[in-house]
Amino acid sequence: MCSFRHFLALVCLAILAFVGMLPVVVTGAEPTEVKIPFEPTDQYAIREVEGWKVFLNRKFEADEPELCAETLALLKVQLYQITRMVPREAVARLRKIPAWVELAEPHHPCMCYHPDAGWLREHDMNPDKARCIEVANAKNFLTWTKQQPWMVFHELAHGYHHQVVESGFENGELAAALAAAKEERLYEDVLHINGRRQRHYALTNQQEYFAEQSEAFFGTNDFYPFVRSELERHDPRMFALLKKLWEVDSRDGK
């Protein structure tokens, strides 16, 4: 039994909590559920698509089944074209980079690669997405890939750069190649797929330089140089470096 003094203290605490002056936790009370700001990993169905592990948001699949099916179909097409064009050893490494699929994740407009769990936590995102790619907005993914047909590979290339290339995003050879390209002004005024001339997105940083030119090397980019032969002529230094970093066998072009 509790004493009258103890009872009075509890009453006072309850009054203070009621008027909002004191947050209290009462021993023996039901624990308050802590709401996390993102969908927990157990709310995703795990699929395998062309050898890649894919985390599919269950709510997206339930609420928008047609859009979800179309998104997965396009993801499959884009992953398949990677397996056809990229060297087998590199594909095996790329398949270690999982993909997450969302209806509309508010932090990104379309697709992205997540290098760091800390950044994800700071932005109220699931840290399990670290070292993975993400289709963050399904509708934009379906639309934007009409002009960026190797979008999925672009994001996987960021993962390859980060996880496989020596020194990752600080690779010295890539830094030197980008510096030389800037010095020679190779990408200041190039043709875009929309017919206009503009500054190449590859000049953003080393990461985008690698991913953009990897698109041209293996597939089709949305900026000139669009394809491999144009890249070899326009930026032979980067062309040779990509052959080395992707371990391309000159006998079969892969």
Strands 111-114 and 132-135: antiparallel
At 16 the pLDDT is: 41
Name the 3-class secondary structure at 34: coil
Task: Mark residue 2 as left, alpha or beta (left: phi above 0; alpha: psi -120 to 50; beta: remaining).
Answer: beta
Among 152, 56, 142, residue whose Cα is nearest residue 97: 152
At 252 the pLDDT is: 61
At 26 the pLDDT is: 38
Tens-level pLDDT at each residue, the chain (254 residues): 444 444 444 444 444 444 343 343 434 445 555 567 899 999 999 999 999 999 999 999 999 999 999 999 999 999 999 999 999 999 999 999 999 999 999 999 999 999 999 999 999 999 999 999 999 999 999 999 999 999 999 999 999 999 999 999 999 999 999 999 999 999 999 999 999 999 999 999 999 999 999 999 999 999 999 999 999 999 999 999 999 999 998 656 57
